[in-house]
């Protein structure tokens, strides 16, 4: 995918319909010390429809925003929402593992704050024709960037039983992965599986009645697994976090919100490594060059309050982690 600044031509939707950003006040609070000075630079690595960015640009008039997203529809909507900030906003069409190149394309070598709001966006869930939601019948697309790549229907048509089972187990943590893989292969011998309604029917038929009574919708984990596979989300995240941390100077801050355990484990591991001492075992005194590069800003993973969950149900599964750079790299 090429790195390019995005046209901010208004179109697509009424801004009154835009979703409520998750943990907005907390994100502003955590990023505030890094963004309070004139000329500060913020990267919103998952721009979406621009809700978090808008609040941060309003709160900190000296900030320049670099907003990244792979979804061209999201960039157009964010451009409309943020147009009033003029040249304080640069929108870039890229996956977030291209963060270093995106920042370099603006002539900068470092930034002061970075925000990741991971997972599928409200825009993608609400537009039924994108195929992300198992509750609505639609073409099985699931591409966050609809300009390129393999669709979920392509995967269901071409993957063998072993590969389907692998992604359902790895990315959906699905206990019935093998059963569902076999059911899909059997069904596609009769007709291509091209719509979400078809896939939901296959999964429900393959799920024992007792299991259906004990847990949530049979399609939930499979749809998650397909979405992650289509968009290579976990590989992108594993590459993006170290690159993002390297862009932060002393005093720079990063905030990451994840919505499922696989993402959160990657975030937790990356921040644990960044906040750990590199001193050899049994060294009596920690030398300065072995001191941690970052410090955690929250203990563990912070969750949304009951009030926010009631006000904004999409905040229910969120896990927030944050860190600040305290030492330059050796």
Tell whether 117 is in a known binding site: yes
Tell whether 124 is in a known binding site: yes
Per-residue DSSP letter, 61: T
On whether the CB atoms of residues 201 and 153 are closer than 8 A, the answer is no
Closest CA to 76 of 24, 146, 138: 146
Tell whether 52 is in a known binding site: yes
Instruction: Please tell me the distance from the alpha carbon of residue 100 to that of residue 292, in angstroms, as a whole number.
Output: 22
Instruction: Please tell me the distance from the alpha carbon of residue 300 to that of residue 196, in angstroms, as a whole number.
Output: 36
Closest CA to 134 of 120, 147, 118: 120
Instruction: Please tell me the distance from the alpha carbon of residue 37 to that of residue 163, in angstroms, as a whole number.
Output: 50
**Cα 295 to the center of its chain, rounded Å:** 22
Tell whether 134 is in a known binding site: no
Tell whether 50 is in a known binding site: yes
Count CA within 13 A, CB hemisphere, residue 157: 12
Q: Positive or negative CA dihedral for 223, 155, 243, 48?
A: negative
On whether the CB atoms of residues 206 and 180 are closer than 8 A, the answer is yes
Annotated binding site for S-adenosyl-L-methionine: 50-52, 69, 96, 117, 124
Annotated binding site: 50-52, 69, 96, 117, 124
């Amino acid at each position: 995918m090429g790195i390019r600044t995005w046209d901010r031509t208004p179109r697509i939707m009424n801004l009154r319909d835009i979703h409520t950003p998750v943990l907005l006040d907390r994100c502003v609070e955590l990023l505030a010390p890094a963004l309070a000075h004139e000329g500060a630079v913020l990267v919103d690595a998952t721009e979406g429809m621009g809700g978090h960015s808008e609040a941060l640009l309003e709160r900190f008039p000296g900030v320049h925003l670099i907003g990244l997203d792979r979804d061209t529809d999201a960039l157009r909507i964010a451009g409309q929402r943020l147009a009033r900030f003029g040249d304080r906003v640069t929108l870039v069409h890229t996956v977030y593992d291209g963060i270093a190149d995106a920042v370099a394309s603006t002539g900068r070598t470092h930034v002061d704050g970075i925000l990741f709001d991971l997972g599928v966006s409200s825009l993608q869930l609400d537009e039924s024709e994108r195929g992300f939601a198992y509750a609505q019948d639609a073409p099985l697309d699931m591409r966050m960037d609809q300009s390129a790549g393999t669709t979920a229907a392509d995967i269901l048509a071409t993957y063998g039983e072993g590969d389907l089972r692998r992604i359902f187990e790895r990315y959906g943590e699905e206990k019935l992965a093998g059963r569902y893989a076999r059911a899909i292969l059997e069904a596609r011998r009769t007709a291509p599986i091209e719509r979400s309604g078809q896939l939901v029917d296959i999964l429900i038929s393959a799920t024992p009645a007792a299991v259906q009574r004990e847990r949530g919708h049979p399609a939930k984990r499979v749809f998650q697994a397909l979405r992650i596979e289509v968009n290579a989300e976990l590989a992108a995240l594993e590459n993006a976090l170290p690159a993002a941390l390297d862009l932060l100077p002393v005093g720079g801050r990063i905030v990451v919100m994840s919505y499922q355990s696989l993402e959160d484990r990657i975030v937790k591991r990356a921040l644990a490594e960044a906040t750990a001492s590199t001193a050899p075992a049994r060294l009596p005194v920690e030398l300065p060059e072995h001191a941690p590069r970052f410090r955690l800003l929250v203990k563990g993973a912070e969750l949304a309050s009951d009030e926010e969950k009631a006000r904004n149900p999409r905040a229910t599964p969120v896990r927030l982690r944050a860190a600040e750079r305290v030492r330059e790299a050796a």
